[in-house]
Amino acid sequence: MSELDEIPADGAGLRRAFASFPSGVVGVCADLGGTPYGLAVSTFVPVSLDPPLVSFCVQNSSTTWPRLSEASHLGLSLLGTGQQDAARSLAARSGDRFAGLTLRHGAGHAVFVEGASAWLEGTIETQVPAGDHQVVILRVHRLATRADVDPLVFHGSRFRRLHVEELPTAV
């Protein structure tokens, strides 16, 4: 059995440790005044079934989040395999984040990326300051899923596919 390497709990060490944990990639998008705005997050977490709540984190330095936070509704697109380019585009600091993407409109300002494994439409319930990020809690009002699209996974600082294998259940 291998030993764990102890590393400093600084920004670089935390980034390395967090890279050990796989996460989904989610596009958070809205259309405001005819202009789409969006960003990519990999900190999406289901919070509650009743009421239906999810959360994601946004860096305080984001110049896009202040615009998105004004939207009546947000569209969350849980990106699927094959959407690495969409994830990179939505994460870009400059340029047209929606170049080459097909968008669908939902209620209010919500916008979704076509080809995602799931869409969640919701409204901001609350925001909680947390260090260099904001934790955003979103109330889900509508959703759609596609069973034929596997989720895009970010792990080890790169995009990956899930390898699904049934494990024996302990009794």
Q: 58-113: per-residue pLDDT in tens?
A: 999 999 999 999 999 999 999 999 898 999 999 998 889 999 999 999 999 999 99
Q: Would you kindly state where each structural domain of the chain is located, as residue ranges? A: 23-154
- The model carries a pTM of 0.85
1: confidence class by pLDDT, cuts 50, 70, 90: low
**In terms of Cα–Cα distance, which of 138, 114, 115 is closest to 41?**
138
For domain 23-154, give the CATH number: 2.30.110.10
CA distance 112 to 120: 9
Q: Answer left, alpha or beta for residue 127, where phi above 0 means left and psi between -120 and 50 means alpha.
A: beta
Q: Which two tokens stand for residue 123?
A: 């409204």
